[in-house]
């Protein structure tokens, strides 16, 4: 591996590519810690590796390709070692750094770099980054799709629950059904119908023949408790162009028994207490 003074250029290149055995790598590491010349040559080799790695698209080699590459490196190292030993024996002197060595490692390193690039010894950071960005985009798309599907299912579930509550109220045998009327003189006669299930707090109300109101006014429905309590707001509504209006499933507490229902005219937004006069009432 060495000429007792310096590490061979090829071995420095293999060390830079992490292709030496642990024992050989240990020898190189110990030497470059005390030899500035070999340390500088190693830095140059690492720089050449970095330039090649940035200038080509690298791929992770197949296991068999990498194994063949390492076997080839081992054979070439053995041949080079035999040749150097023969030269030293023939000359009877220690081999000193050659002129090519003094000029830098680029000329000797490039053949090894060709092997490294072909076998994919260096892992491609660009490829990893691209894969990571693609994975993040895929996860984001899947997350957005899942949120949309969840929201759609929640809406469908709410609609189904509302439809079931309406059907239950219309078919409940315990429901209180009330018709609200005004004085017979009104032409046409406004009329309202309420269906109320006390133990569920479910109320359905519809009215017809109602007069149109100013924009600042609304009709408000009231539940008058049977226990003599204050009238409870049960929803506001505006009639359509034919005088029809309704209140469907207002928020009411469960278990309140109703004595009667009434309708008044209130400011837009409704009131907490009814404003006289009462337009319609029914029990």
| pTM for the whole structure | 0.44
Give me the residue label for tokens 């309704």.
246
| Rounded Cα–Cα distance for residues 170 and 193 (Å) | 12
Is pLDDT at 241 greater than 50 in this prediction? yes
Q: Is 3 a member of any domain? A: no
Res 131: pLDDT: 72
Q: Is 163 a member of any domain? A: no
Query: Are 115 and 182 in a shared domain?
Result: no
Token couple for 146 = 């899942």
Which residues touch 133 (CB under 8 Å, ≥6 apart)? Answer: none
Res 96: pLDDT: 35
Q: Is 259 a member of any domain? A: yes
| Rounded Cα–Cα distance for residues 265 and 218 (Å) | 6
Res 136: pLDDT: 83
Query: Are 181 and 269 in a shared domain?
Result: yes
Average per-residue pLDDT in the chain?
Answer: 78
When divided into structural domains, the chain yields a total of 2
Q: Is 174 exposed, middle or buried (0-12, 13-18, 19+ CB in 10 A)?
A: exposed
Query: Are 108 and 207 in a shared domain?
Result: no
Q: Is 153 a member of any domain? A: no
Which residues touch 13 (CB under 8 Å, ≥6 apart)? Answer: 45, 105, 108, 109, 112
What is the per-residue pLDDT across 183-219, written as a single tens digit (0 to 9) for each?
A: 565 568 899 999 999 999 999 999 999 999 999 999 9
What is the per-residue pLDDT across 5-56, written as a single tens digit (0 to 9) for each?
A: 788 888 888 888 877 888 888 888 988 889 988 888 888 887 777 766 655 5
| Rounded Cα–Cα distance for residues 263 and 234 (Å) | 10
Query: Are 182 and 118 in a shared domain?
Result: no
Residues of the domain holding 230: 176-282
Q: Is 202 a member of any domain? A: yes
């Amino acid at each position: 591996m060495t000429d007792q003074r310096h590490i061979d250029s090829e071995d420095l290149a293999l060390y830079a590519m992490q292709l030496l055995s642990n024992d050989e790598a240990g020898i190189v590491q110990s030497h470059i810690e005390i030899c500035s010349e070999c340390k500088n040559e190693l830095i140059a080799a690492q720089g050449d590796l970095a330039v090649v790695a940035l200038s080509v698209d690298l791929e992770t080699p197949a296991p068999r390709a990498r194994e063949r590459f390492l076997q080839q490196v081992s054979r070439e190292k053995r041949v080079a070692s035999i040749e150097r030993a023969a030269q030293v024996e023939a000359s009877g002197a220690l081999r000193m750094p050659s002129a090519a060595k003094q000029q830098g490692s680029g000329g000797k390193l490039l053949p090894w770099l060709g092997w490294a690039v072909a076998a994919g010894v260096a892992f491609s950071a660009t490829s990893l980054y691209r894969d990571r960005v693609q994975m993040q985009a895929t996860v984001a798309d899947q997350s957005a799709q899942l949120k949309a599907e969840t929201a759609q299912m929640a809406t469908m579930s709410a609609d189904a629950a509302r439809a079931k509550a309406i059907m239950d109220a219309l078919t409940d045998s315990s429901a209180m059904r009330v018709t609200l009327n005004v004085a017979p003189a009104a032409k046409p006669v406004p009329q309202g119908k309420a269906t109320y299930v006390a133990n569920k707090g479910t109320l359905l109300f519809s009215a017809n023949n109602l007069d149109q109101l100013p924009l600042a006014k609304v009709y408000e429905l009231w539940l008058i408790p049977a226990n003599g309590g204050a009238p409870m707001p049960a929803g506001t509504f505006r009639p359509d162009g034919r005088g029809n209006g309704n209140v469907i499933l207002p928020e009411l507490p469960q278990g309140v028994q109703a004595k009667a229902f009434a309708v008044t005219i209130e400011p837009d937004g409704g009131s907490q207490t009814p404003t006289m006069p009462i337009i319609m009432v029914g029990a």
